[in-house]
């Protein structure tokens, strides 16, 4: 995570805005992210994409055998962070660490946001907001769970960038 900063992650979020978002886009993004997980990582991970307004599942796949039910627990907790605060989970973690240094992210959620049950949220890399050009707010959520948190985040950003590049070809 040393190369990532709050500003660089914000720049990634700002650059990863889609022209549209529907089930076809989610499927294409999901397959790109899954393929990147397979190509670049030996650990199994799950890729999850859902609508923000309804949590309607649009894409779900494991990158390889070996994922566990616990991966879905992490997915839902990362999704909750993105939906509540509209930011990537890794940026939220870094912001909490900066605002309340020396506390755990769970304690920081309690102290800063008066969250009564911080176990609902996971401020670990791998949750990312889907934004659409000229649409206010978050349209969807992409979550990867199973890799190191920097890698969970990285495959999402790389996947969105690859998708956007394919639209320009």
Task: For the chain, list the domains and their CATH numbers.
Answer: 6-167 (3.30.450.150)
Strand partners, 45: none
Across the chain, mean pLDDT equals 95
What pLDDT does 55 receive?
79
CA distances from 92 to 41, 79, 110, 111, 141 (A): 24, 12, 14, 14, 15
Cβ(122)–Cβ(135) under 8 Å?
no
What pLDDT does 2 receive?
55
What pLDDT does 58 receive?
98
> What is the SS3 string spanning 88-107?
CHHHHHHHHHHHCCCCCHHH
Residue 28: CB partners within 8 Å, gap ≥ 6?
Answer: 163
| Residue positions counted in the chain | 169
Is the pTM higher than 0.85? The answer reads yes
Q: Check residues 2 and 119 and name the one with the higher pLDDT.
A: 119
Segment 23-67, tens digit of pLDDT: 999 999 999 999 999 999 999 999 999 999 887 999 999 999 999
Other Cβ atoms within 10 Å of 150 Cβ, number:
16
In this model, does residue 1 exceed pLDDT 60? no
In this model, does residue 97 exceed pLDDT 80? yes
142-161 mean pLDDT: 97
């Amino acid at each position: 995570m040393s190369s990532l900063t709050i500003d660089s992650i914000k720049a990634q979020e700002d650059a990863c805005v889609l022209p549209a978002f529907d089930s076809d886009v989610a499927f294409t993004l999901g397959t790109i992210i899954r393929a990147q997980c397979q190509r670049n990582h030996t650990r199994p991970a799950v890729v999850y994409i859902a609508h923000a307004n309804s949590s309607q599942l649009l894409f779900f796949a494991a990158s390889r055998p070996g994922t566990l039910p616990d991966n879905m627990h992490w997915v839902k907790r990362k999704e909750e962070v993105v939906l509540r605060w509209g930011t990537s989970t890794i940026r939220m973690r870094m912001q909490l660490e900066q605002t309340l240094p020396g506390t755990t992210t769970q304690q920081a959620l309690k102290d800063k946001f008066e969250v009564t049950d911080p176990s609902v949220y996971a401020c670990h890399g791998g949750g990312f907001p889907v934004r659409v050009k000229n649409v206010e707010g978050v349209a969807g959520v992409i979550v990867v769970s199973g890799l190191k948190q920097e890698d969970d985040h990285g495959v999402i950003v790389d996947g969105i960038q690859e998708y956007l590049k394919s639209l320009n070809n």
